[in-house]
Amino acid sequence: MNRKQIAAANWKMNLKWAQAESLLNDLFKQPIHFSPNQQVALGVPFPYLSMALSYAKNHSHVEVAAQNSAQYASGAYTGETSAEMLQSMGVHYVILGHSERREYFGETNAVLAEKVKLALQNGLAPIFCCGESLTIRESGTQNEYVANQLKESLFDLSEFDFKKIVIAYEPIWAIGTGKTATAEQAQEMHAYLRSAIAAQYGEEVANSISILYGGSVKGANAKEIFGQPDVDGGLVGGASLKADEFLQVIAGLK
Ligand code: 13P
């Protein structure tokens, strides 16, 4: 498998400083064995980016991700963090469009298109999240809904830029609920998204894009989900806060 296979942690707004330090210590106390195409991304809160970067720099195959970046380039936007700042400190990825940001902070597909553009202009690789609510899933329109999120936020990008994107499919009904999508449900959506990408950018680009699954991934189910042909790893919330669980998730990468 040439596509990058990624175990991405999303710590969300969790852990105090000392807890973050001890989690990173526990994660890295034994060497992790990676295949050439495998990678870990540590999506930590802004105050812990430097801490995570100091671990990542001693470990190949480990990158750091911010959990958000501003829709404006720079200037008088109190409390915001720009893509340029993140890039200048050595951050590689930025998670954009998480359903929690869409729901609680009003991020729309149009705002996300701006954030994605700025991230790319500043050399960051977006991990772009998409996914449907339970209501949409029950109405059977999830494929069109999620494809439209990609269309409205990503499909104006040039092929050159689009190839830098990582997609994370996170059905909202599976986030933090313990209710994982089945491996078949994940595969079905991932294959559909890959076909939507192929229709826009061609097969070769579609086959090169990593599509991660997120939603109640843990040590015990990672291998089965990641084993699906169109699932290229996961974006992991709760289980990324425990070293042994997250190490098991990493071990589930194909
Ligand atoms: P959980 O793994 O806690 O379900 O969260 C998933 C998620 O939102 C990752 O971004």
Q: Convert the pLDDT of each residue in 103-145 to its tens digit.
A: 999 999 999 999 999 999 999 999 999 999 999 999 999 999 9
- Residue 181: per-residue pLDDT: 84
Q: Is 170 a catalytic residue?
A: yes
Residue 228 structural domain: 5-251
Q: Separation of 216 CA from ligand 1 center, angstroms?
A: 6
Ligand 1 pocket test, pick from 130, 235, 242 with the greatest ligand atom count within 8 Å of Cβ, gives 235
Residue of 217, 218, 246 to mutate, ligand 1, most atoms within 8 A of C-beta: 217
Could you give the angle at which helices 17-28 and 49-56 cross, rounded to 10 degrees? Answer: 10
pLDDT at 80 over 90: yes
Alpha carbon of 88 to ligand 1 centroid (Å): 28
What is the CB < 6 Å shell around ligand 1?
10, 98, 170, 175-176, 214-217, 235-239
Residue 73: pLDDT over 80: yes
* pLDDT higher than threshold 70 for residue 1: no
Note the Cα 27 to chain centre separation in Å.
19
State the DSSP string of 157-200: S-HHHHTT-EEEE--GGGSSSS-PPPHHHHHHHHHHHHHHHHHH
pLDDT of residue 178: 76
Q: Is the pLDDT of residue 2 over 90?
A: no
pLDDT for the residue numbered 179: 78
As beta bridge partners, residue 7 has 40, 234
**Amino acid letter at 208?**
S
- For the residues 160-178, what does the mean pLDDT come to? 93
172 pLDDT exceeds 80?
yes
Interatomic CA distance for residues 111 and 128, integer angstroms: 13
- Res 50: pLDDT: 98
State the catalytic residue, choosing from 100, 107, 132, 170: 170
The CATH number covering residue 44 comes to 3.20.20.70
Q: Which atom of ligand 1 is nearest to the CA of 99?
A: 8
Is 0.85 topped by the overall pTM?
yes
pLDDT of 23 > 80? The answer is yes
- Dihedral angle over CA of 27, 30, 32, 33, nearest 10: -170
* Cα first-last separation, the chain: 8
Classify the phi-psi angles of 76: left when phi > 0, otherwise alpha if psi is within -120 to 50, otherwise beta.
beta
Q: Which residue has the tokens 């609920």?
A: 177
Top-confidence residue, 112 or 179? 112
pLDDT at 174: 87
What DSSP line would sit under 55-98, residue for residue? Answer: HHTTSTTEEEEES---SSSSSS-TT---HHHHHHTT--EEEE--
Mean pLDDT of 190-199: 98
pLDDT, tens digit, for every residue of 28-44?
Answer: 999 999 999 999 999 99
Domain count, the chain: 1
DSSP letter, residue 31: P
Close Cβ partners of 126 (under 8 Å, ≥ 6 residues apart): 93, 94, 95, 96, 115, 116, 119, 120, 164, 165, 166
- Residue 21 CA to residue 59 CA, distance in Å, equals 16
